[in-house]
Every structure is written in C-alpha cells, then in structure tokens.
Amino acid sequence: MAEAVIRPMEVILVAAGSPTGRAAEAINDLTRHLPDPGEPDFCPTCAGRSWPCAVFDDAASRVHTARLQLGDVVPLDLHPRLWPSSAQPVSPVWPSGPAFE
Ligand SMILES: [Zn+2]
C-alpha cells in the first residue's frame, strides 16, 4: 500500500489588522481543503468529495472579497488546475464560483 503524501505547510505570523490577517480564517479554511500532492481531484478533508470542494470555493470567495490574490495562497502545482489557460492567475477570478463584480 502506497504511503500517503501530505502537503507541507508553513506557519506564519501576520498582524491581525493587516489585509492578510483579517482574512486569516478564510486562508486557514482554504488551506485545510487543499488536495494532497498527486491527488488533485480529491479534498482530503471532505471525505469522498471532489476538489475544489464547497468549503474551498467558499473560502476562496472570502479571500477574494478581502482583496487578496487567491494565487498567493494556492500552491503552484494547483494553479494549472484552477487557471488552466495560464500558469499564473491573471486576476483573482474564481472560475467555478460566483461571479465577482
Ligand atoms: Zn473540502
């Protein structure tokens, strides 16, 4: 049986009043619902759910609402999946989520 590969994480401190600090809960939610390396189609937190899952979509929407770049908190190996037409997100548009105006 193959051993599961867990995505490496970093813990950082940011000022609570900064834009990133104010979106910390959304970023944490989003990060908890990232797929493991080599398993880009499945959310490891939502058992049996495909990825991106509803919790990820919601967290991504909250990150966008906080005016942060979604691509800055999504691992690079997942960028082609979320933004298939380019290696880097041109704008923080969430392709499968609600339209952001
Ligand atoms: Zn999930």
Q: Where are the domains of the chain?
A: 19-82
Mean pLDDT, range 89-97, rounded to an integer: 53
**49: CA distance to ligand 1 center in Å?**
7
- Residue list, CB under 5 A from ion ligand 1: 33, 43, 45-46, 53, 55
**88: CA distance to ligand 1 center in Å?**
23
Is the predicted pLDDT of residue 2 greater than 90, yes or no? no
Torsion over CA: 42, 49, 12, 96 (sign): positive
- Cβ–Cβ under 8 Å, residues 21 and 15: yes
Is the predicted pLDDT of residue 100 greater than 50, yes or no? no
Is the predicted pLDDT of residue 49 greater than 70, yes or no? yes
**30: CA distance to ligand 1 center in Å?**
8
